[in-house]
């Protein structure tokens, strides 16, 4: 099925491409997003879904000095987040803190906790320790992977270790394994590289199409999802990495975690067949024979670059199109009935 969104909308003032769930806010369903304007002063918007689920409320609006290319909320402190930004001439990365009394201030200013300096090339993303309180951060640029130690009280970040991806390898992003905090997956053109943080060495890789995005299944071990330019979404079982266990094709253009440059958001119902795979069988379950595409939201007017699932209400996700439109949607009306 396809059609327009029935979700709750919110408009940013400028173009944007990144949005993050505020995981540490356990009392509200919240998202944080930032803009990408070359000529204007950029903004960070802290958004909260109303208790009735009918309105997106701007809890805080903050100035950010540069274009925001990546934004990620701290998993243990709802007032802390990281950004990757561009000055127009170079890229940088920093960790920021929202002032404590931001709701009572006329023009609250973000506090820069630490700058993640040391990158010579374009910084692509910042990864936070996947769960619980920890001082570790990862930053990935086109050629290197950095492991940082962050001290918020001293407002400092130090490089603990650094490793190069090697000649002719260009990293574009990554994901931290929530089931193994020593493992990180890094996207590298037509492959995904796996790194052991204890040795800062590559342990293995899987070959695939030009990878745009990668993420781990937070509930099941060994399951990885890749979004690729021409072949859509692939689901992998890392115990048998030669071929994906599921393929989801639904975008007519590049795929970005099932929001695409075709101005579409696709909602999928995909089995990872983990039960069958753990018993040694690679035969798909009967449910996979059904069309896994539940709904295609096609009323966006620009490319959709940002998607974030709520950790507090996992049936809710937020999408962000390049024209600055945020839409929060519930998947419940689209789930197959038992």
pLDDT in tens, 72-117: 999 999 999 999 999 888 899 999 999 886 666 555 789 999 999 9
CA atoms of 125 and 194, how far apart (whole Å): 16
- Three-class secondary structure of residue 308 per DSSP: strand
Per residue in 241-293, pLDDT tens? 898 888 887 554 443 445 565 677 888 777 665 443 333 322 233 334 456 77
Provide the total of helices (H) and of strands (E) in the chain, helices listed first: 1, 29
Characterize 32-57 residue by residue with b for buried, 16 or more Cβ atoms within 10 angstroms of its Cβ, and e for exposed: bbbbbbeeeebbbbbbbbeeeeeebe
Residue tagged 């009735």 (tokens) = 52
Q: What is the pLDDT of residues 14-28, one digit of tens each?
A: 999 999 999 999 999
Give per-residue burial for 133-161: e unless 16+ CB within 10 Å, then b. Answer: eeebbbbbbbbbbbbbebeeeeeebeeee
Q: Which residues contact 219 (CB under 8 A, 6 or more apart)?
A: none
Strand ranges (DSSP E) for 242-298? Answer: 246-248, 255-256, 259-260, 265-268, 293-297
Question: Average pLDDT of the chain?
Answer: 85
Cα–Cα distance for residue pair 13/20, rounded to 1 Å: 18
């Amino acid at each position: 099925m396809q059609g327009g969104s029935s979700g709750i909308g919110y408009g940013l003032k400028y173009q944007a491409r990144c949005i993050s769930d505020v995981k540490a806010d356990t009392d509200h369903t919240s998202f944080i997003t930032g803009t990408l304007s070359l000529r204007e002063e950029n903004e960070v918007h802290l958004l909260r879904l109303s208790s009735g689920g009918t309105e997106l409320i701007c809890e805080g609006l903050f100035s950010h000095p540069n274009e925001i290319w990546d934004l990620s909320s701290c998993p243990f402190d709802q007032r802390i987040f990281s950004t990757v930004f561009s000055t127009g001439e170079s890229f940088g990365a920093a960790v920021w803190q929202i002032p404590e009394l931001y709701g009572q201030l006329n023009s609250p200013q973000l506090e820069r906790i630490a700058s993640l300096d040391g990158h010579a090339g374009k910084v692509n993303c910042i990864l936070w320790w996947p769960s619980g309180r920890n001082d570790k951060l990862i930053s990935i640029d086109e050629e290197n992977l950095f492991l940082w130690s962050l001290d918020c009280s001293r407002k400092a970040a130090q490089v603990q270790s650094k490793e190069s991806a090697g000649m002719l390898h260009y990293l574009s992003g990554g994901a931290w394994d929530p089931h193994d905090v020593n493992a990180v997956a890094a996207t590298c053109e037509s492959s995904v590289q796996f790194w052991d943080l204890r040795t800062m060495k590559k342990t293995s890789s899987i070959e695939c199409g030009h990878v745009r995005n990668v993420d781990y299944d937070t509930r099941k071990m060994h399951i990885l999802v890749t979004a690729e330019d021409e072949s859509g979404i692939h689901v992998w079982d890392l115990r048998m990495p030669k071929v994906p266990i599921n393929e989801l094709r639904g975008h007519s253009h590049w795929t970005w975690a099932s929001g695409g440059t075709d101005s579409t958001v696709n909602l999928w119902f995909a089995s990872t067949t983990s039960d069958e795979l753990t018993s040694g069988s690679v035969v798909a379950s009967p449910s996979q024979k059904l069309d896994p595409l539940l709904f295609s939201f096609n009323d966006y007017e620009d490319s959709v670059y940002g998607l974030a699932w709520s950790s507090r209400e996992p049936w809710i996700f937020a999408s962000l199109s390049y024209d600055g439109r945020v839409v929060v949607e519930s998947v419940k009306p689209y789930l197959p009935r038992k």
